[in-house]
Amino acid sequence: MTKRSEIYKCNICGNLAEIVGEGAGTLVCCGEDMELLTEKTADSSTEKHVPVIEKINGGYRVYVGSTLHPMEEKHWIQWIELTADGISHKKYLNPGDKPETVFMVGNATTVSAREFCNLHGLWKG
Ligand SMILES: [Fe+2]
Protein backbone atom coordinates (compact mmCIF):
# COMPACT_ATOMS: atom_id res chain seq x y z
CA MET A 1 0.00 0.00 0.00
CA THR A 2 1.47 3.29 -1.05
CA LYS A 3 0.86 6.66 0.61
CA ARG A 4 0.61 10.06 -1.02
CA SER A 5 3.94 11.97 -1.29
CA GLU A 6 6.08 8.89 -0.68
CA ILE A 7 9.26 8.78 -2.77
CA TYR A 8 10.43 5.47 -4.27
CA LYS A 9 13.84 4.83 -5.85
CA CYS A 10 15.05 2.15 -8.26
CA ASN A 11 18.45 1.08 -6.97
CA ILE A 12 19.40 -0.26 -10.40
CA CYS A 13 18.67 2.62 -12.80
CA GLY A 14 18.08 5.50 -10.37
CA ASN A 15 14.47 6.23 -11.35
CA LEU A 16 12.64 8.24 -8.69
CA ALA A 17 8.86 8.14 -8.35
CA GLU A 18 6.53 10.18 -6.16
CA ILE A 19 3.12 8.85 -5.17
CA VAL A 20 0.35 11.23 -6.22
CA GLY A 21 -2.42 8.66 -5.89
CA GLU A 22 -2.49 5.76 -3.42
CA GLY A 23 -2.84 2.11 -4.40
CA ALA A 24 -2.47 -1.41 -3.08
CA GLY A 25 0.24 -2.51 -5.49
CA THR A 26 4.02 -2.53 -5.30
CA LEU A 27 6.16 -0.27 -7.45
CA VAL A 28 8.57 -2.23 -9.66
CA CYS A 29 11.39 -0.94 -11.86
CA CYS A 30 14.11 -2.88 -13.73
CA GLY A 31 12.39 -6.08 -12.53
CA GLU A 32 12.83 -5.29 -8.80
CA ASP A 33 10.72 -3.66 -6.09
CA MET A 34 11.53 0.02 -5.75
CA GLU A 35 12.87 1.21 -2.37
CA LEU A 36 10.65 3.43 -0.24
CA LEU A 37 12.89 6.30 0.88
CA THR A 38 12.65 7.46 4.48
CA GLU A 39 12.81 11.19 5.22
CA LYS A 40 15.93 11.78 7.27
CA THR A 41 15.77 14.75 9.63
CA ALA A 42 19.09 14.79 11.48
CA ASP A 43 22.56 15.03 9.99
CA SER A 44 25.56 14.43 12.23
CA SER A 45 28.24 14.67 9.52
CA THR A 46 29.91 17.94 8.54
CA GLU A 47 28.01 17.93 5.27
CA LYS A 48 24.53 19.21 5.93
CA HIS A 49 21.44 17.93 4.15
CA VAL A 50 18.51 19.04 6.30
CA PRO A 51 16.72 21.82 4.37
CA VAL A 52 16.47 25.16 6.14
CA ILE A 53 13.35 27.32 5.66
CA GLU A 54 13.74 31.09 5.96
CA LYS A 55 10.73 33.44 5.85
CA ILE A 56 11.22 36.25 3.36
CA ASN A 57 8.95 39.00 2.08
CA GLY A 58 6.24 37.29 0.02
CA GLY A 59 7.33 33.71 0.58
CA TYR A 60 10.10 31.42 1.74
CA ARG A 61 13.73 30.75 0.89
CA VAL A 62 14.79 27.12 1.29
CA TYR A 63 18.45 26.17 1.28
CA VAL A 64 20.49 22.96 1.82
CA GLY A 65 21.72 23.01 4.43
CA SER A 66 23.12 24.97 7.37
CA THR A 67 26.50 24.43 5.65
CA LEU A 68 25.76 24.66 1.92
CA HIS A 69 25.72 21.28 0.18
CA PRO A 70 27.99 20.65 -2.89
CA MET A 71 26.42 20.96 -6.35
CA GLU A 72 28.91 18.90 -8.38
CA GLU A 73 28.31 16.59 -11.36
CA LYS A 74 28.60 13.49 -9.17
CA HIS A 75 27.02 14.82 -5.99
CA TRP A 76 24.21 17.34 -5.96
CA ILE A 77 20.76 18.26 -4.75
CA GLN A 78 18.29 17.18 -7.46
CA TRP A 79 15.24 19.02 -6.13
CA ILE A 80 13.85 21.04 -3.26
CA GLU A 81 10.19 20.91 -2.26
CA LEU A 82 8.26 23.27 -0.03
CA THR A 83 4.86 22.28 1.35
CA ALA A 84 2.93 25.34 2.49
CA ASP A 85 -0.50 24.77 4.05
CA GLY A 86 -0.80 21.43 2.28
CA ILE A 87 0.20 22.67 -1.19
CA SER A 88 3.49 21.30 -2.51
CA HIS A 89 5.88 23.33 -4.64
CA LYS A 90 8.94 21.75 -6.22
CA LYS A 91 12.06 23.22 -7.83
CA TYR A 92 14.39 20.97 -9.85
CA LEU A 93 18.08 21.88 -9.72
CA ASN A 94 21.17 21.08 -11.79
CA PRO A 95 24.85 20.68 -10.92
CA GLY A 96 26.39 24.17 -10.73
CA ASP A 97 23.20 25.75 -9.35
CA LYS A 98 23.08 27.03 -5.79
CA PRO A 99 21.51 24.49 -3.39
CA GLU A 100 18.66 26.87 -2.64
CA THR A 101 15.49 28.30 -4.10
CA VAL A 102 12.80 30.86 -3.37
CA PHE A 103 9.09 30.04 -3.29
CA MET A 104 6.91 33.15 -3.58
CA VAL A 105 3.83 31.60 -2.00
CA GLY A 106 2.87 34.35 0.44
CA ASN A 107 2.37 33.56 4.12
CA ALA A 108 1.48 30.09 5.33
CA THR A 109 0.47 28.69 8.71
CA THR A 110 2.46 25.47 8.35
CA VAL A 111 5.51 24.91 6.16
CA SER A 112 7.91 22.01 5.70
CA ALA A 113 10.60 21.24 3.14
CA ARG A 114 12.16 18.16 1.58
CA GLU A 115 15.16 17.74 -0.67
CA PHE A 116 16.80 14.87 -2.52
CA CYS A 117 20.58 14.37 -2.68
CA ASN A 118 21.61 11.93 -5.43
CA LEU A 119 24.04 10.17 -3.06
CA HIS A 120 22.52 10.62 0.39
CA GLY A 121 18.79 10.39 -0.25
CA LEU A 122 15.72 12.14 1.06
CA TRP A 123 15.76 14.78 3.81
CA LYS A 124 13.09 16.78 5.57
CA GLY A 125 13.21 19.98 7.58
FE1 LIG B 1 24.89 14.73 -0.15
7-36 and 52-124, same CATH topology: no
CATH number of the structural domain 52-124 = 2.60.40.730
For residue 20, the CA-to-ligand 1 centroid distance in Å is 26
For residue 47, the CA-to-ligand 1 centroid distance in Å is 7
Dist. CA 65–CA 11, nearest whole Å:
25
CATH architecture of 7-36: Single Sheet (2.20)
User: pLDDT per residue over 23-81, tens digit each?
Assistant: 999 999 999 999 999 999 998 776 689 999 999 999 999 999 989 999 999 999 999 99
The pTM assigned to this predicted structure is 0.93
Region for 106 from its dihedrals, namely left if φ exceeds 0, alpha if ψ lies in -120 to 50, beta otherwise? left
Would you list the domain boundaries of the chain?
7-36, 52-124
For residue 63, the CA-to-ligand 1 centroid distance in Å is 13
Q: State which residues have CB under 5 angstroms from ligand 1, the bound ion.
A: 117, 119-120
Q: Could you give phi then psi for residue 106, rounded to 5 degrees?
A: 75, -155
